[in-house]
């Protein structure tokens, strides 16, 4: 797996630095345990980055 990622950007939850996605999870009580929430936030951020015109209805 390391060879596939060589030269690519890797973002951790700490790397989001006060991202709006983190605030949305808190505001909507979408967090669960501290273990899995960071993965959910990172995946949601990746989806928004991949599909920037996608509209979410909260």
SS3 content of the chain, % helix, strand, coil (to 5): 55, 0, 45
The pLDDT of residue 58 is 64
Chain segment 1-58, per-residue pLDDT in tens: 566 777 888 888 888 888 998 898 888 888 777 788 888 999 999 998 999 898 767 6
pLDDT score at 36: 86
The 10 Å CB-count burial string (b at 16+, else e) for 6-21 is eeeeeeeeeeeeebeb
Q: State the DSSP code for 11.
A: -
Tokens 């890797």 -> residue: 10
């Amino acid at each position: 797996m390391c060879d596939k990622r060589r030269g690519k950007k890797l973002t951790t939850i700490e790397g989001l630095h006060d991202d709006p996605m983190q605030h949305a999870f808190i505001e909507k009580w979408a967090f669960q345990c501290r273990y899995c929430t960071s993965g959910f936030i990172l995946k949601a951020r990746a989806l928004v980055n991949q599909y920037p015109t996608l509209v979410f209805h909260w």
